[in-house]
Amino acid sequence: MLKNLSDTRPGTVEAIAATLTEAVLEHRVLPGTKLSEDEVGEIFGVGRTVVRQALRTLAHEGLLTIERNRGAFVSRPTVKQAREVFEARALLEPRTARAAAERATPGDIAALEKHIDEEHAALSGDLAGRALKLSGHFHTEIARIANQVTIEAFIRQLVSRSSLVIALYWRRRNALCESHSHHALVDALRHHDGAGAEELMKGHLLDLLSQLDLAPQPEKTLSLADALLR
């Protein structure tokens, strides 16, 4: 169904798309940033043809928005889109966590714990962006454990978009403290507690959502004048 992704040699569309994705997920490139074809092509040492394909790939994931004759920009999800992302996650992830709990092997648990450790290390090293990316990877990893490739792809997309949402709507200045929820989830998986995992995931997603500032519509057309005179 999906394309053969085994080809990750440098210079390929897939490799460039992956590198760009990582940069967006780690907030090294922020929403609204323009990705010019020439610029990206020069960086990776390839022509515009292959850059174009990579940009379209990211656009399809929702990370970029391509405007005809204007170029590709890192997406700026609206409040509605932000809500939808978490509503979709609420439908997919709790049940997937349950399935994962029923199938998790000791190797799976070890992998998850390694993820948490790396996340913690990144936070200690003040690499909030990297920590955020790893924290997202934790969620797709659960789908992988549940042996659901299709759902995993959807969750990957939603997690990616969540990263954009966090970049735009994160409330506090301090980093997300997700390690506690993630630890509890790993425990539930370890004990094959499907119902518990489902509930924990549900709560975890609500928790995340509650830390976003999605309440008042941030006036899409907030002109400079309005901002100054208010």
Terminal CA-to-CA distance of the chain, rounded, Å?
Answer: 52
Question: Is residue 125 involved in binding DNA (CB under 7 A)?
Answer: no
Instruction: Say how far apart CA 44 and CA 63 lie, in whole Å.
Output: 19
Place of tokens 């939808």: 84
Minimal distance, residue 35 CB to DNA, in Å: 7
Q: Which is nearer to a second copy, 122 or 158 (CB)?
A: 158
Question: Is residue 32 involved in binding DNA (CB under 7 A)?
Answer: no
Task: Tell which one of 38, 42, 126, 213 touches DNA (CB under 7 A).
Answer: 38
Residues near a second copy, by CB under 8 A: 1-4, 7, 49, 52-53, 56-57, 59-60, 62, 65-68, 75, 77, 80-81, 84-85, 87-88, 91-92, 95-96, 148-151, 154, 158, 161
Would the CA dihedral through 63, 5, 117, 103 be positive or negative? positive
Q: Which is nearer to a second copy, 141 or 198 (CB)?
A: 198
Which residue type sits at 143? A
Question: Is residue 76 involved in binding DNA (CB under 7 A)?
Answer: no
Q: Which is nearer to a second copy, 68 or 172 (CB)?
A: 68
Question: Is residue 37 involved in binding DNA (CB under 7 A)?
Answer: yes
Instruction: Say how far apart CA 123 and CA 132 lie, in whole Å.
Output: 9
Instruction: Say how far apart CA 164 and CA 59 lie, in whole Å.
Output: 13
Instruction: Say how far apart CA 102 and CA 118 lie, in whole Å.
Output: 25
Q: Is residue 159 within a helix (H) or strand (E), and if so which, with residue range?
A: helix 149-169
Would the CA dihedral through 14, 20, 24, 30 be positive or negative? negative
Task: Tell which one of 17, 24, 25, 50 touches DNA (CB under 7 A).
Answer: 50
Q: Which is nearer to DNA, 75 or 135 (CB)?
A: 75
Q: How far is CA 73 from CA 55, 69, 76, 180, in A?
A: 9, 12, 9, 34
Minimal distance, residue 161 CB to a second copy, in Å: 7
Minimal distance, residue 224 CB to a second copy, in Å: 25
Q: How far is CA 181 from CA 31, 40, 206, 209, 211, in A?
A: 27, 38, 11, 14, 14
For the chain, where are the E strands, in sequence order?
34-35, 64-67, 71-74
Question: Is residue 68 involved in binding DNA (CB under 7 A)?
Answer: yes
Instruction: Say how far apart CA 62 and CA 104 lie, in whole Å.
Output: 30
Minimal distance, residue 110 CB to DNA, in Å: 36
Instruction: Tell me which stretch binds DNA (CB under 7 A): 70-78, 123-131, 160-168, 204-212.
Output: 70-78
Instruction: Tell me which stretch binds DNA (CB under 7 A): 7-15, 17-25, 87-95, 152-160.
Output: 7-15
Give the binding site for DNA (CB under 7 A): 11-13, 34, 36-38, 45-50, 52, 66, 68-72
